[in-house]
Amino acid sequence: MIPGLDFIVPAAYFVAAVMFIYGLKAMSSPVTARRGILWSGVAMLVAILVTFLHPKVEGNYALMIIAIGIGSVAAWWTARRVAMTDMPQMIALYNGMGGGAAAAIAAVELLKAFAGQVDMDLATIVLAVAGGIIGSVAFSGSLIAFAKLQGWMRKTWRFGGQQLLNLLVFAATLVLGGLLVIQGPSPQLLLLFFAAALLAGILITVPIGGADMPVVISLYNALTGLAVGFEGYVLQNPAMMIAGTVVGAAGALLTQLMAKAMNRPLTNVLFAGFGKTDEDAQGGPASGEMRSIDATDAAIQMAYAEKVIIVPGYGMAVAQAQHKIWELTELLTSRGVKVSFAIHPVAGRMPGHMNVLLAEAGVPYDLIYDLEDINAQFPTTDVALVIGANDVVNPAARKDSASPIYGMPILDVDRARNCIVIKRGQGTGFSGIENLLFFEDNTRMLYGDAQKVAQQLISGVKALG
């Protein structure tokens, strides 16, 4: 044994935990997010390397290196190839892997206890079981979320008595977990316990619609962090305990903020079935007709405006139009037009989705405003340009008390003097709710792929000289 390891290992874990906290703090701002990711990556590297020196790690070094190698290559390959539009799927998948890893730790440690290889006191067994439940739910639930976001699971499964079934399965999971604590683990009981926990994660997520996925992803991120924290206690690993707790707390706060931005309690997201697919969602009391505009006229409106606010949505992400939109912004700014960007907290398919895309295009952070900071500016705005956003600009949230999104804070683009909506067609979008904005007198629809339309707008502005 290397002299001083009893001090070096926990000290290194503590340093890694501090770096995790600093990295997470830095990720809270777009200005410092890149630095935060680097600090967190270095912290993870420190934690991995020092684990090889941990006194309880004996042998299996080859397997550890092979596993780390496979994971690193897979992560590198996916990170290099995944499109920005597919980031929500990747986040959901990585959340699931974290939860699954925590559940696997619980299974291994409980099996060791069954075989008499380790002694576990009551508190440790309880935390191992709790981490196993949470990690398993996060794992299977995140995989279902991934399948929905990837388009592999388009149908939202709902049936009579579904909530009762979910409750029974979750109650069975708790009972089996209780038996593990009271009677002690056994392979048969562990198999039933993890099968029930995995099934619970599937059943909870299956009826949730696509529009609620940002909240669901955030919730499973919080659960994964919590499970890792619990299993860190089981392994007596301070880095896992601190990092897991911090990630769990941050994820829980983010989930709460996301639910608040939708004006809905989390229980409503999980159990009410909002965010339906097009086939079963209800439309609002839309009346009138959608009026279209061509790109040339839209370009003239914006070129001679004093103030333009751009509202990006998932449609911009799908079309990868952020670079063209920034080129259009620079062109308008050179003509003396004041251009700003308005971001809704739940725009896109994951928290911060639009901020990432705009940062990728080079949009300065001081041009980007949150909902509460920019809503008061819409009445004095000449043109609000909406690019593939839907529910977050739907006035039904203010006007239609029967709407599923009634009460949800929205960007008040309908209060701008003119509103131009870039959209592929006349469908209701991902959530399936009719958007009253499209029928407002001051709204004009500009149909087409967002990137191609942005190029047409650029050409139109340039043609004005």
Rounded distance, CA 93 to CA 140, Å? 10
410 and 397 Cβ atoms separated by less than 8 Å: yes
What lies within 8 Å, CB to CB, of 374 at 6+ separation is: 309, 340, 342, 411
314 and 348 Cβ atoms separated by less than 8 Å: yes
249 and 225 Cβ atoms separated by less than 8 Å: yes
Rounded distance, CA 315 to CA 325, Å? 12
Sign for the CA dihedral angle at 252, 132, 210, 357 comes to positive
CB-count burial class (<10 Å; 0-12, 13-18, 19+) for 3: exposed
Rounded distance, CA 84 to CA 318, Å? 9
Count helices and strands (H / E) in the chain: 17, 6
Rounded distance, CA 369 to CA 319, Å? 22
Which of 391, 400, 412, 414 is an active site residue? Answer: 391
Give me 313's structure tokens. Answer: 């949505």
What is the longest distance spanned by two Cα atoms in the chain?
81
391 is catalytic: yes
User: Hey, which residues are catalytic here?
Assistant: 391
